[in-house]
Amino acid sequence: MPASRGARILGPYGARDKWRLVIIDAGSRKSLVFSSQEQAEAAKSSIGEQLRQHVILVGEALEQFAADKRRKGCKELSVQAVYDRLSGFLPTDKPLAGITVAEAQKLYESLGERFATATHHAALKRAKELYRWAIEQGHVTTNPFAPVKPVGKARRGKPQLSLDEARKLSRTLRADAENRDELATALLLQLLLGLRSSEVLLRRVRDLDDGGRILVIPSGKTENARRRLECPEVLAELLVAQAGNKPAEQFLFGGEVGHGQAWMWKGLRRYCDKLGLPTVCPHSLRGLHSSLAVEAGRTSQEVAAQLGHSSFGVTALHYVRPGAIENTRIRKVSGLLASGTQDTPLEHAPTTGKEALLAQLAALSEADLAKLLSVLPMLAGK
C-alpha cells in the first residue's frame, strides 16, 4: 500500500454493525470496513506499520545499503557493481515495503527474458540480500524475494577464444599498444597476466616495479589477490610507456579519475567485431590465460597463484576450459609411453641424475605433483 510521508490512519469508527478505518493520504481519503472492532484494531496496527515502512523508497534504501557496504570495507568497484545491478531492475521510486511477492516474481522473470542465467541469478541473490539488510534495519518486516526461486542452470566459466583467435587479438592489441593506445594496453595486460578487470583498472603508476618487469597487486578481491607478477619484456616496455611521466599515485589507465569496467567491456567488443571474432567479455581473457597456461604444462598451483586463487579447484571450475586439464595429462602419458620404461634400450634411458629426475617429474600426476610442491618449502628449510 504505497503512501506518502504524511499519510494517516483514523478510527476505528462504529458504522451500524461494522467498524470503519479512514486512511488519509495526500488529500485523498479511503475507507476500509471490518466486521468487528477487533479486526479493525488489528488492521489499523498492521496498516500503520506498513505506512511507516513505506516512507523509505527503494532508491533511498539502495543508497543506504551501498553506504553500509562501504563502511564494512567493501571495495568501491564491488559496491558500485551491486548498486548498478539492483537499480537496473528494481523500481527505485517505489516504496521498499510496497513490493509484494507477486511483484518480486514478475521483476525476476523480466530479468530472465533479457539476461543470461548467471546474471539474473546474481541479481536475485542481491535483491534477497538487500531485503535481509532492510529487515535488520527495521525498514521492512518481510522479504518479498525470499520465496522467489532461481530459474535455469548457470553455465560455469565464460566462452573463450581459440588459440588462433587469441593470437589474432594479441597481435592487434600489441600493435595498437605500441601506438600508445591505453585500451589496447589494458586488454593486453589482462590477457598476458590473467588479471581481473578490477586489478587492471585499479593499477597505479607506483605498482610498476623494476622498470616495469614486475607488476604489484597490493590487494584485491581476496587475500590471495595480493601478489607480484613478472611481466614479459614486451609488456613491460608498453606499461612503462603507458605510465610516462604520470605521478606515482595516478591510475595507470585513466589518470586521476580512472575508468569503469564498461570501458573494457565495450572496448573488447569493438575489437571482436573489428577482427571478426566471437564476442567475449574481458573476464574471459582471464580464463583464456589459465587455459593456455594449463595446456602449456604449467602446474595447477602455478596457475592458481597467478590468478590469485587459494586453490586450483576454483580455477578449474570457473576458468579452465573443458579438455585443457585432460589434454595436459594425455601429453604427459604420451610422452612417458613414447620414451618407454620397458622397451626403451638402456642406452637411451636417462643416465644423469638431472635427466632421471626430470623424467620422474614428468610422469607425476597433478595430485602427486601438488603434494610434492607442498612439502618442498619444508624440505628447503631443513
What is the arithmetic mean of pLDDT over 290-296? 55
Give the chain's length: 382
Is the dihedral angle over the CA atoms 25, 31, 32, 38 positive or is it negative?
positive
Mean pLDDT of the chain: 76
pTM for this model (two decimals)? 0.50
What is the arithmetic mean of pLDDT over 193-202? 85
Cis before 12? omega within 30: yes
Q: Largest Cα–Cα distance in the chain?
A: 112
CA distance 151 to 55: 32
Q: Which residue, among 171, 150, 249, has the nearest Cα to 205 in the 3D structure?
A: 249
Is the dihedral angle over the CA atoms 112, 117, 119, 124 positive or is it negative?
positive
CA distances from 173 to 167, 191, 215, 274 (A): 10, 10, 19, 12
What is the arithmetic mean of pLDDT over 186-215? 88
SS3 114: coil
Q: What is the pLDDT of residues 112-150, one digit of tens each?
A: 777 778 788 889 999 999 999 999 988 888 999 999 999
Cell matching residue 171: 597481435
What is the arithmetic mean of pLDDT over 240-245? 92
State the pLDDT at residue 260. Answer: 85
State the pLDDT at residue 222. Answer: 58
Q: What is the pLDDT of residues 15-73, one digit of tens each?
A: 888 999 888 865 678 888 999 999 989 888 887 766 665 568 899 999 999 999 999 88
* Sequence-distant (≥ 6) Cβ neighbours of residue 256 within 8 angstroms: 250
State the pLDDT at residue 204. Answer: 93
Q: Of the ranges 75-84, 85-94, 223-232, which is most confident?
A: 85-94
pLDDT > 70 in the chain, percent:
68
Q: Where are the alpha helices (DSSP H) in 54-162?
A: 58-71, 76-87, 101-112, 117-137
Q: Enter the DSSP assignment of 298.
A: -
Q: What is the pLDDT of residues 157-178, one digit of tens each?
A: 567 788 788 889 889 999 999 9
State the pLDDT at residue 371. Answer: 61
